[in-house]
Structure 1
Amino acid sequence: MNIEGSVALVTGANRGLGRHFVERLLDRGASKVYAASRNPTATVAGADVLPLDLLDQGTIDAAAAVAGDVTLLVNNAGISTYQNLVRGDLSEIRREMDTHFFGTLAVTRAFADTLGRNGGGAIVNMLLALSWFSWDGATSYRAAKAAEWSLTNASRVELARQGTQVVGVHLGAADTDMMSGYDGPLLDPADVVRAALDGLVAGAAEVLVDDWSRTVKAGLGQDPSAFYAQVADSSP
């Protein structure tokens, strides 16, 4: 994927990693960047602002109708409700799954044919090391990101014939509003976006941004008891 001259659409673009994606894509020569968000109030100079709510199919369809020139889709938008699956609020658990899995799927479906018509292009899905393990206190979020990871792999398989590159980006935690109150080490969002875009340009299917994501990925083949003991010992 060549960023220079590309036309990108970034979801969740009004803050955090999404805003950094918009800025860096413009810096790296994208000819147009659609900054899409549920409440598009904050803007980046040079970006085209679009309303897009992952839980509102009408806004997704409207965005796809406007942005028919997209060659790069960045699925960044997400939420965290801090619910556990067994005893948490089921309505919040559903909202989390609807956002990360069904919302990301809806956006992917809306733009898949557009990418195909425009030469294949690419999709970047922002995932986490938490796609691969669970942690008490927010197991719902972990389940939703695991589902999104599976969606990423499925999209890669399904869209390979039309030449669409699908990249899953995994990291521990970045210094964004969503992680406010977290007392562990936080990555600079600019570094996360740089790693994601470098991986995209290099043709990667998966980007492991930090040592934490690499450690968790390497542990997937272990016995679960040993794996979770290791996670507990090395958790950021």
Structure 2
Amino acid sequence: MIIAGTNALVTGANRGLGAALVEELLARGAGTVYAATRDPGGLAHPDPRVVPLRLDVTDLRTIREAAARADDVDLLVNNAGVGGAGSLLTADPERARAEMETNYWGPVAVLRAFAPVLARRGGGTVVNVLSALAWAAAPWAGSYGATKAAAWSFTNSARAELRAQGTHVVGVHLGFMDTDMVAHLDVPKIAAPAVAARILDAVEGDDDEVLADTPSHTLKEALAGPPAGLEL
């Protein structure tokens, strides 16, 4: 897919990677960029191509309304996500359920709503922002990793299922990105604009997967070895 002239929708567009993706899409000549978030009121942008859109990935009504409003989308980016629920064995299970609702069921619901839109537009492309923690044995992020592992599986099955309608599905993995979600962690972090550029390079190159940084490459390779090699 060539970005120039296409219409895109980015969930979680109000900050972090979502905001960086909006800017990168504009820089590459996108047509309309729907900046989707739960509260679009604070999403004013000087570029008239940016259209703030209310979309809560845990609220089916707002998803359906967004799909009806943004019925000219060629590129869908499932970026919205939450973290911090912690261990699946000792932390609050309700927080873990809420994390699964956003990180797994959210992209499922959004893609179910927008797949027909993409089909009418000739197929288009879907990007699911995942995580290298989908492959890691990290008890301190057991809930988050499980949500992203589920989303990885969904991404792969959706790619196979939507190929018949001409829709390309891209999965994005990265370790730690310099955003609010991991601001408390003292670890090397990749910048959000760099990740956004790599994602759109993959879209334009028709790649199925993005390994955005060293941790994602390392953990993907470790999948072929013993489980102990996945421990962080």
TM value normalised by structure 1: 0.94
Moved more, 76-85 or 106-115: 76-85
Cα distance in 2 between the residues matched to 1:192 and 1:89 = 31
Q: Quick check: 1:43 aligned with 2:32? A: no
Counting aligned pairs with the same residue, the percent is 49
Aligned AA (1:213): S
1:167/1:205 contact within 8 Å kept: yes
Q: What is the CA distance between 1:86 and its match in structure 2?
A: 1.5
What is aligned with 2:32? 32
SS of 1:195's equivalent in the other structure is helix
Cα distance in 2 between the residues matched to 1:42 and 1:22 = 11
Q: What is the CA distance between 1:120 and its match in structure 2?
A: 0.4
Q: Quick check: 1:119 aligned with 2:151? A: no
The 5 A counterparts of 1:55-70 are: 55-70=58-73
1:156/1:166 contact within 8 Å kept: yes
Cα distance in 1 between the residues matched to 2:96 and 2:86 = 7
Aligned AA (2:31): S
Aligned residue among 201, 215, 226 for 1:212: 215
1:130-154 CA distance string (max 9 Å, x none): 1111312221011001011111101
Cα distance in 1 between the residues matched to 2:89 and 2:212 = 31
- Which structure 1 residue ranges, 5 or more long, are not aligned? none
Aligned AA (1:73): L
1:19/1:44 contact within 8 Å kept: no
1:70-94 CA distance string (max 9 Å, x none): 0000000000133211222111111
What is aligned with 2:158? 155
Superposed CA RMSD in Å reads 1.0
1:167/1:200 contact within 8 Å kept: yes
The 5 A counterparts of 1:121-136 are: 121-136=124-139
Cα distance in 2 between the residues matched to 1:25 and 1:43 = 16
Q: What is the CA distance between 1:223 and its match in structure 2?
A: 1.1
Runs of 4+ in 1 over 4 A off after TM superposition: none
SS of 1:138's equivalent in the other structure is helix
TM value normalised by structure 2: 0.96
1:116/1:163 contact within 8 Å kept: yes
Aligned AA (1:121): G
Aligned residue among 203, 221, 225 for 2:224: 221
1:140-197 CA distance string (max 9 Å, x none): 0110010111111011011000111100011111111111111000101111011111
Aligned residue among 180, 185, 188 for 2:188: 185
Aligned AA (1:169): V
SS of 1:115's equivalent in the other structure is helix
SS of 1:74's equivalent in the other structure is strand
Cα distance in 1 between the residues matched to 2:185 and 2:67 = 35
